[in-house]
Structure 1
Amino acid sequence: MAQEEFQRGLEIRRAVLGADYVDRSIAQADESMMAFQQMTTQWCWGNAWSRDGLERKTRSMLNLAMLTALTKPAELRDHFKKTTQRA
């Protein structure tokens, strides 16, 4: 089940952020960051982003709102940049 969620998450993550960006992030991850890459891809993208009920644009907007509220300018910039390039 975990591998299925990871693969589903990888597919969604690549579709939203771009395959080059995602593949580069995974390739550049050291051992400790690889665990984070796997967890994020499986849980966030493979579980949360794959649920029925919301379109990807709505999920993206909610993500932007959360990043703004959490004062995460780097993550906000990256998500905004990647999602607007893909729109």
Structure 2
Amino acid sequence: MDKTTHDKGLEIRKAVLGEAYVENALKNADDFNKPFQEMVTEYCWGAIWGREELPRKTRSMLNLAMIAILNRPHELRVHIKGALTNGVSRDEIREIFMQVACYAGVPAGVDSFRLAREVFAEVDKG
């Protein structure tokens, strides 16, 4: 593991997903999934999200589309919150999911809209 890339990834992961969420994921890591958590932090968040060529907002927008298409509701929920943190507006999220529905199928759009509304309600509650 490259400590510099891992540390950069940990910083970005916490900034996007929230410190409490990341700390909980790491706290619950055991011998089985700890290597996976380290890989996600170093590779996904450090080596990829840590690149300068795309801003975090753009990366969030791409993630929303890809995760919606892959039908990964737990990850989509987490990344909707992260997208809001990265400055993606609700209107932009709507347009992303309209694009998903057009190119990946209406059922993917239906689920994406439903999850987004649930996340917005949670965020609005505070």
Whether TM-score is above 0.5 comes out as: yes
Task: Please tell me whether Structure 1 or Structure 2 has the larger radius of gyration of its CA atoms.
Answer: 2
Which residue of structure 2 lines up, in the alignment, with residue 17 of structure 1? 17
Post-superposition CA distance 1:22-44 (Å, at most 9, x none): 01110011111111100000000
TM-score (norm 1): 0.90
How many residue pairs get aligned? The number is 86
TM-score (norm 2): 0.64
Stretches of structure 1 that go unaligned for 5 or more consecutive residues are none
Q: Distance in 2 between matches of 1:13 and 1:78?
A: 11
Aligned partner letter, 2:10: L
* Higher RCO, Cα 8 Å, sep 6+: 1
Q: Distance in 2 between matches of 1:72 and 1:20?
A: 21
Post-superposition CA distance 1:12-68 (Å, at most 9, x none): 001111111101110011111111100000000000001111110100110111101
Shift in Å, 1:83:
3.6
> Identity of aligned pairs, percent?
49
Detail structure 1 runs of 4+ shifted over 6 Å in the superposition.
Answer: none
